[in-house]
Structure 1
């Protein structure tokens, strides 16, 4: 492990002209993951696809797991911002449809399957994946807090659990069935989470939100 003052490979956010290199490498890495999975991700192949020197890729990211960690960080940064509709159900439906569109996309769906599979046996990838989802859940959590303020759901409702409940059925379908992920599935997930939240299912015992 590096010291607090030294960043690990893949954690530095380059700016200026090097930003184009990072963008090209991350695009190539995402393509490779979607096409061939984590087990076949190779830094030399990524460098070739990105038309970047191998030494640049090895020096900046250091390893496949370092590259995947940076890819996930970039995906979290580039994700669309939260939608505000004025109602909990409307907000949760917007969230569910965003997740649905991402997972139904041939490239993005395959990419997430590959990263989730890798996270089961690669601690650094798992850490990066957890950070990605923590970032996205935190982005959408205010819609539940706003619903509490409006009186739509009980005081003490855990915003993070509500948001996780929206996407959980969609990821389950992605990973365990061959069923099509459509807007109807997204809307059902949002409606189920909203109904459970209104019923107090996600109220924390300590009342902390």
Structure 2
């Protein structure tokens, strides 16, 4: 039968509105950065009235946090499965380099990371997003343990963080150029450390 009053079809108008708002927030971050992001901009670019944005999201901070949360919910990323830990780590590292050096994909994530330096809510949302991403790397390490490549008890989150850390240092702290060779070096270092038991979980 018909939906009752006040009920919302899942994936209906509300979901479309939320996605339109998320896209407008991302566009605004890329165009103007966090300090220049306004509710007016989001209203103009999403087609959602300003009063609705304030009522539902409370302002820029709420809009930003929800945009990153929705990005996480829509995120269908899975880690590589190349048949070896060496191949998986190299593929992971190359993926980071590619996604942050390709103009088509880099602007949105880079703008979010920059916003997290200036907004506590954005930082919180980014931490949840990254934690979830690192958790998805568990099968990479589980397969490596099964194959006898690394010791049992190797912490997948520690491995995933270690691969990305030197790359993110160059991207966001030192602002040095980032190349495929940097990805391979990061992967090789983590592989050697993982084999040596450096990432075995210590209670």
Instruction: Calculate the TM-score normalised by the size of structure 1.
Output: 0.82
- Matched with 1:157 is 154
- Matched with 2:56 is 60
Q: What's the CA shift string for 1:10-62, capped at 9, x where partnerless?
A: xxxx6212222222211111111112111111111111012222223222222
- Provide the C-alpha distance between the structure 1 equivalents of 2:67 and 2:95, rounded to a whole number of angstroms: 19
Alignment partner of 1:205 is 2:202? yes
Match of 1:140 among 137, 140, 143: 137
Consecutive unaligned residues of structure 1, counting only runs of 5 or more, are 1-13
Q: CA 1:191–1:95 in structure 2 vs 1: closer, same or farther (change >3 Å)?
A: same
Q: CA 1:189–1:106 in structure 2 vs 1: closer, same or farther (change >3 Å)?
A: same
Match of 2:186 among 177, 180, 189: 189
| C-alpha deviation, 1:143, in angstroms | 0.7
- Matched with 2:101 is 104
SS of corresponding position for 1:32? helix
- Matched with 1:127 is 124
- Provide the C-alpha distance between the structure 1 equivalents of 2:84 and 2:150, rounded to a whole number of angstroms: 11
- Provide the C-alpha distance between the structure 2 equivalents of 1:69 and 1:28, rounded to a whole number of angstroms: 13
Larger radius of gyration: 2
Q: CA 1:82–1:65 in structure 2 vs 1: closer, same or farther (change >3 Å)?
A: same
SS of corresponding position for 1:156? coil
Aligned residues: 193
- Matched with 1:18 is 14
- Matched with 2:29 is 33
| C-alpha deviation, 1:107, in angstroms | 6.2
Is the Cα–Cα contact under 8 Å of residues 86 and 191 in structure 2 kept in the other structure?
yes
- Provide the C-alpha distance between the structure 2 equivalents of 1:57 and 1:94, rounded to a whole number of angstroms: 40
- Provide the C-alpha distance between the structure 1 equivalents of 2:49 and 2:104, rounded to a whole number of angstroms: 25
Is the Cα–Cα contact under 8 Å of residues 100 and 110 in structure 2 kept in the other structure?
no
- Provide the C-alpha distance between the structure 2 equivalents of 1:168 and 1:195, rounded to a whole number of angstroms: 16
